[in-house]
């Protein structure tokens, strides 16, 4: 187990992922947002090709959910930048 931890800490990216919770959260959130958006677009394209109302509803739901998540993340980032503009201890990702 120690050898795995040492090998993960030897790489800069994996060391950052292991040690920084905020960085890891933001990275995985944007990965999930991208994947959900692409899945929604794929479902909408499938609905068009297959003439399926079910895929259209699921695709629209996925795209709307991804858009809401994007706008929520953007508003949170803007609020964080605005409220802590003079704080030098704040790390921006």
pTM, to two decimals? 0.67
pLDDT score at 29: 86
pLDDT score at 87: 54
- Tens digits of residue pLDDT in 73-88: 888 778 877 765 555 5
Distance of alpha carbon 15 from alpha carbon 23, whole angstroms? 11
Q: What are the per-10-residue average pLDDT scores of the chain (93 residues)?
A: 77 81 82 93 96 96 93 82 60 56
Kindly report each contact of residues 77-85 with a partner whose C-beta sits within 8 Å and lies 24 or more positions away, as own/partner. none
Environment class of 37 (CB within 10 Å of its CB; exposed 0-12, middle 13-18, buried 19+): middle
Q: 91: part of which helix (H) or strand (E)?
A: none
In degrees, to the nearest 5, what angle opens at C-alpha 47 toward C-alphas 46 and 49?
65
């Amino acid at each position: 187990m120690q050898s795995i931890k040492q090998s993960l800490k030897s790489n800069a990216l994996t060391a950052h992922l292991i040690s920084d919770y905020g960085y890891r959260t933001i990275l995985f959130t944007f990965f999930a947002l991208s994947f959900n958006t692409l899945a929604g677009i794929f479902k909408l394209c499938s609905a068009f090709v297959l003439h399926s109302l079910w895929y259209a509803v699921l695709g629209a739901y996925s795209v709307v959910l991804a858009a809401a998540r994007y706008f929520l993340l953007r508003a949170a980032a803007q609020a964080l930048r605005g409220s802590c503009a003079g704080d030098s201890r704040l790390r921006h990702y």
